[in-house]
Structure 1
Amino acid sequence: MSATLATVHRHDNLPFYEERVDLACAFRWTARLNMHEAVANHFSLAVNDDGSQFLMNPNQKHFSLISASSMLLLDANDPSTMERPDAPDPTAWGLHGSIHRLLPHARCVMHVHSIYSTVLASLADSRLLPIDQNCATFFNRYVIDNDYGGLAFEDEGARCARLMQNPKHRVMIMGNHGVLVIGDSVADTFNRMYYFERAAETYIKALQTGQKLRILSDEVAEKVAEEIEDYPGQSERHFEDLKILLSRQEPDFLN
Structure 2
Amino acid sequence: MNTYSNLTAQAERIDLAAAFRWTARLAMHEAVANHFSLAINPAGTRFLINPNGRHFSRITASSLVEIDADDPATLARPDAPDPTAWGLHGAIHRACPHARCAMHVHSVHATVLASLADSRLPAIDQNTAMFHNRLAVDDHFGGMAFEAEGARCATLLADPAITTLVMGNHGVLIIGRTVAETFNRLYYFERAAETYIRALQTGRPLRVLPDDIAEKTAREWETYPGFADAHLSELKAILDHEDPAYAS
TM-score range, shorter chain: over 0.9
The answer for the alignment partner of 2:3 in structure 1 is none
* 2:10 maps to 1:17: yes
The answer for the alignment partner of 1:189 in structure 2 is 182
**In structure 2, what is the Cα distance between the partners aligned to 1:227 and 1:20?**
29
The answer for the alignment partner of 1:210 in structure 2 is 203
**In structure 2, what is the Cα distance between the partners aligned to 1:194 and 1:226?**
18
How many pairs are equivalent?
Answer: 244
State TM-score, norm by structure 2: 0.96
The answer for the alignment partner of 2:35 in structure 1 is 42
**In structure 1, what is the Cα distance between the partners aligned to 2:220 and 2:243?**
35
**In structure 2, what is the Cα distance between the partners aligned to 1:101 and 1:56?**
14
Find runs of 4+ consecutive structure 1 residues off by over 2 angstroms.
13-16
Task: State whether residues 23 and 186 of structure 1, in contact with CA within 8 Å, keep that contact through their aligned partners in structure 2.
Answer: yes
* Unmatched 5+ stretches in structure 2: 1-5
CA offsets 1:31-53 (integer angstroms, 9 cap, x no match): 00010012000000000000000
* 1:16 CA drift (Å): 2.4
* 2:157 maps to 1:172: no
From 79, 99, 106, give the equivalent of 2:99.
Answer: 106
The answer for the alignment partner of 2:122 in structure 1 is 129
* Unmatched 5+ stretches in structure 1: 1-12
Name the aligned partner's letter for residue 250 of structure 1. Answer: D
Task: State whether residues 14 and 69 of structure 1, in contact with CA within 8 Å, keep that contact through their aligned partners in structure 2.
Answer: no
**In structure 1, what is the Cα distance between the partners aligned to 2:46 and 2:135?**
25
**In structure 2, what is the Cα distance between the partners aligned to 1:237 and 1:149?**
38
CA offsets 1:59-91 (integer angstroms, 9 cap, x no match): 011000111111000000011100001110000
* 1:15 CA drift (Å): 9.1
**In structure 2, what is the Cα distance between the partners aligned to 1:49 and 1:142?**
25
**In structure 1, what is the Cα distance between the partners aligned to 2:181 and 2:237?**
17
Name the aligned partner's letter for residue 232 of structure 2. Answer: F
Matched residues, percent identical?
64
